[in-house]
Amino acid sequence: MERYLTWNKGIFESNYQIFESGKIKCTLFFDTWRSEAKAISQSKNYRFKDDGLYGTTTQIFDGNNELIGFISYSDWKSKATITLNSGEKYAFEFTNTWHSQWRITNFNDKQINYDSSTSSGTVVSNNDDELMLLIGFYAREHFTKMIMLIIFIIIFLPMISRGIF
């Protein structure tokens, strides 16, 4: 059973709204000052918390604040591995150079494909796993922040070291 979803977010914000058949299915709220996010879905709530400002690991908590898994990032390869306490493992990767398409899969029976423009996009999923869906958006935002940090370093660090500012 393939499912088609749409999503949107503000251009300069990180909060995502995911829709199915025109109705909100889940929302992912990022905290601007801390490296964490809260997700509200139709059936459950989740919280994602990084191990630092730009950490290499994210802890995943359920609505009871119990640790249910981890996301481990390979920033230079733009990939991530998701390991849940239930034993399930997933892989996250971008499927094009511009990072506008990505997927998350367990290499067995679950796969979600994401496609984006600047502030909206589509999702095609072969399952109803809300947590897996939300992890795909959280990991994308992690890599977006890493790209912005690299751009900042490349552009502004030479200017600061030359005393332009």
pLDDT tens digits along 101-154: 999 999 999 999 999 988 899 999 999 999 999 999 999 988 877 767 677 777
pLDDT tens digits along 30-62: 986 678 999 999 889 999 999 865 668 999 999
In Å, how far are 12, 106, 111 from 103, measured between CA atoms? 23, 10, 7
Is the CB of residue 35 less than 8 Å from the CB of residue 49?
A: yes
> By residue range, what is the domain housing residue 147?
3-161
Is the CB of residue 152 less than 8 Å from the CB of residue 27?
A: no
Say which CATH number the domain at 94 has. 2.40.160
Q: What is the pLDDT of residue 109?
A: 93
* The total number of structural domains that make up the chain: 1
Give the whole-angstrom CA distance, residue 4 versus residue 105: 16
> In angstroms, what is the C-alpha Rg of the chain?
16
Is the CB of residue 43 less than 8 Å from the CB of residue 53?
A: no
